[in-house]
Amino acid sequence: MSRNLIATLMGFLAVTTSFAADPLSSAVAVLERETGEESRAFSTRDFGRDNFKGPHSVLVPDDRAETLLWKIRTQTPPGIVAFIGTQHSLAKPPVEGTELVVAVTRNQFDILRIAASDAV
C-alpha cells in the first residue's frame, strides 16, 4: 500500500470515529458551517419563551430556513434530527428569524417531544 492510501484511510477512520463518538458535535458543526451562525446550546418552546437544554439551534432568515434545513439534513450523522423550530417568537426581547434545530433522537417522532408540540 502506498503512503497516500494509508493516510487517506486513516483520515476516513478518524472522521467516521468522530461521528460515532459524538454525533451531536458533528451535527452542530454542520449547522454552524451551513448557516454561518454560532449555535445556541438550546432550542426553544412555547413560541420562543422557554429554552430547552440539549438540542442546539440557530436563527436564520425566514426565506432561507427550508433550503438550509435540507442542506443540513443531508449531512447529519445517524441518530440526529434537524428540523424547523420556532418561527414566530413571542420572546421578550423580540427575536427575528426562524429557528433551525439539531438534536440527538431515537427517531423522527422525538421532534414532537423536543419541540413540546401537540402536533396541531
| pLDDT tens per residue across span 95-119 | 999 999 999 999 888 888 899 876 5
The pLDDT value given to residue 6: 57
Residue 119's CB: how many other CB atoms inside 10 A?
A: 7
Tally Cβ neighbours within 10 Å of residue 34.
Answer: 20
Q: Residue 12 has what pLDDT?
A: 53
Q: CA-to-CA distance for 20 and 36, rounded, in angstroms?
A: 24
pLDDT of res. 118: 65
| Phi, psi at 107, each rounded to 5° | -160, 175
Span 2-49, pLDDT tens digits? 665 555 555 555 454 444 569 999 999 999 999 999 999 999 999 999
* Domain residue spans of the chain: 23-115
- Grid coordinates representing 70? 435540507
Q: For CA atoms 87, 80, 112, 39, give the dihedral sign.
A: negative
pLDDT tens, position by position, 69-99: 999 999 999 999 999 999 999 999 889 999 9
